[in-house]
A and B are shown apart, each in its own frame.
Chain A
Amino acid sequence: MLKKLGAVAVVAAAISVAVSTTAWGSAKGPDRVSAAAAAKVTCGKVRTIGVAAPLTGPAASIGVEQLHWAKYWAARWNRKHKSARIKIVSGDTQLGVDTAFAVKVAHSFASNSKVLAVVGPAGSQEVVASTSAYKGGSLGFISGSATRISLTDGHTDGNRIGYFYRTVPNDGVQAPRVANYMIKTLKWKRVYIIDDQETYSQGLADGVQAILKKNGVTVTRDSISQQASDFSSVIAKIPANTQGVYIPWQLAPQAQAFGQQLKAAGKSHVTLFGSDGLFSPDWKIAGSYDSFFPVSPSNATVLAYVKAHNGNGEYFGSPSYVAAQVDTLAITKACTLGHGKTTRAAVRKQIAKMKLKSSILGFPVSFSRGGDLHSPATFGIYQIQKDGTFKPVG
């Protein structure tokens, strides 16, 4: 027995030495991922953009809108630029099922040498999780919905300066807007805040909670997992005299179930207040409020989109249109500068320098060093009507 174990140990040691030498050798050899990252790509007639969005799963309604808008941009662009067409490849991040899918999508974009820039991912936690993969592939990625403040500060959730940009104002704009609306317009004195334990939700809930507290509002904070379906115990904790419940969540069907269970607990007099993640037809508890990205429904392009989609605005996806627009323009510029060849790094450089005088969102687009919008308009406040539509109220 001992003799055999000794033999095993010797063999194991020999093999591990061999393996580590091989690994060392290969580590010094050409690295395919960074090869894809550094490689000069011939631009050709078709350039590829990756769109990472939740196309299935509980957040599918918003992800599909993002893909629709990105494709709408590509269709409009391709009509005029036959020799520099844009191709969209999509990756399903399954927001609300698992963050790992976003990482998988990021890896597949990073190793696909045709992809020059990315739109997405949708959720802030997905941005945090997939940063290493995008950085490893030297890809720039522009999210049309990730609003957590610290994504762009370069240290709190990791450093992604020069890689990550977003075409929505961040929660530094959203939180005060929501809190002030609660205090000044709704005149709430007792608010119950429930986050869904995701990076995005916690950040926004913290922000609103701080401002409400400073203004003398009684705030209770609670939290429930994104996977939960029984809310009855949390609802039992909500005091009967609470005026509003703030739910900065990402999954609209969950908000719908929460509203239903609120009714079941005899607390239908309590008003719900959601955030941008819930701006979806899946949430239809009449009387609830919701804050949402700036959009300009009167913009000619937006009107054309609505007309092309049977009167369905799908506004959640409109910042992704701008993200696809920025990606496309940056790729085109980089291709021109590189005389028909470019690299992902060159595209990122062009994204950083991007200046759009106007956009379908109703304001000019250019980015700070961290990747935030320079001139953000503020968030709109909407109320859900009896027929399930969102009506702007402030």
Chain B
Amino acid sequence: MIATRQQRLGNFAGLGLVLVAWVLYAVYASPTQGWTFFLQLTVNGIILGSIYALIALGYSMVYGILKLLNFAHGDVYMIGSFIGFGVLSVLGGALSPAIPVVLLVLCMFAVAMIGSGVLGLVIERFAYRPLRNAPRIAPLISALGVAFFLENSALLLFGAQYRNYDGYDLISFNGIHIGGPTGVFVSYLGVIVISSSVALMVALVALVRWTRFGKAMRAVSFDREAAAMMGIDPDRVIATTFFVGSALAGAAGVMFGLVYSQIYHLIGFIAGLKGFTAAVVGGIGSIPGAMLGGLLVGMTESWAKGYLNGNVADLVVFGILIGFMLIRPTGLLGTPALQKV
């Protein structure tokens, strides 16, 4: 986990190159559409990216500690968005909320986070813990099974029809134009999403850096056996990690519902892949990396949708992942791991 000075310089150089390339591209493309368009896309991308970042954190933490790709993570996020929708419907729906809106939104977040967190705990306990010492192919297939199970359970329980949060009817105050009526528009809902995402990430960093649990988590991810010998219960630490990561995914699910309005049982899979890409771009296992990766992936997707074509955007994101995997599997902020033989 300790990077040498040279590696860090290399990381920043890589990051700088990527940013410069993107800005150059934007400059190249902007005369046809204008700078406002570019900035608007960037704002949209940051909103999208802060959702991806929250998903990426869960992936990254779990990979960091277990070296396990939790394919089911995207579906935990989907369940989170359905829990949020359930709370919204029980409390009167977007058009006639039964309690003050601020309280309602807080309720949605709280219930969704706790619900998905518990779901994460259950998944870890029953699908992954029995396979802790199995060949590495086994938990991957088990994870695929969990993802499939969750997706279709949601289909069974909630039906295949799309649900609409109608978040803009809920939060009726609108947003602000920056730079005149034709300038960049930032909706208040977007501001809420970005700021709550940042708040959650700050809380997570604090948790990992300054609490006993954080210390234990870092110790387990560094060397599980040594940590166990020092009196840390790895099972408990791993379970808590799953809880925290899944709760973040649940929050991301509610945010997605609020901003993009429409949810259904399949939103988890692609979002999971994007979140995973974010984790890889940032450097899997690294928490600041996940945030950075989320924002980069979100902005790239938004730009690709704006300048190229809505359909190519997914391919661009997938291409970035494959490229990073082949050329720089440690991501921007990650550290290379040696394979122990």
Contacts and interface: CB of A to CB of B under 8 A. Distances in A.
Chains A and B share a contact (CB less than 8 Å):
yes
A118 B204 CA distance: 58
Interface stretch (A108-116, A233-241, A360-368): A233-241
A263 B174 CA distance: 8
B302 A61 contact: no
Interface in A216-275: 223-225, 228-230, 232-234, 236-237, 240, 251, 253-254, 256-257, 260-261, 263-268
B40 to A, nearest CB: 4
Interface in B27-85: 33, 37, 40-41, 44, 47-48
Interface in B167-203: 167-169, 174-175, 177, 181-182, 185, 187, 189-190
B44 A266 contact: no
Nearest to A251: B162
Interface stretch (B230-238, B241-249, B256-264, B321-329): B256-264
B162 A266 contact: no
B305 A233 contact: yes
A296 interface: no
Interface stretch (A34-42, A52-60, A207-215, A346-354): A52-60
A230 B260 contact: yes
Given A233-B305, A236-B306, A253 B162 contact: yes
Contacts of A234: 305, 310
A58 B181 contact: no
A97 interface: yes
B174 A257 contact: no
Bin chain B's interface residue count.
Answer: 35 or more
Given A230-B260, A264-B175, A60 B160 contact: yes
Contacts of B164: 253, 256-257, 260, 282
Contacts of B182: 240
Interface string A179-213: 00000000000000000010000000000000000
A266 B187 contact: yes
A97 B160 contact: yes
Contact of A233 (B167, B175, B185, B302): B302
B161 interface: yes
A253 B305 contact: no
Nearest to B263: A229
Contacts of A263: 168, 174
Interface of A: 56-58, 60-61, 94, 97, 197, 223-225, 228-230, 232-234, 236-237, 240, 251, 253-254, 256-257, 260-261, 263-268, 282
18 contacts: A197-B311, A223-B310, A228-B310, A230-B260, A233-B41, A233-B306, A234-B305, A237-B306, A253-B162, A254-B262, A256-B261, A257-B164, A260-B168, A261-B168, A264-B167, A264-B175, A264-B259, A282-B164
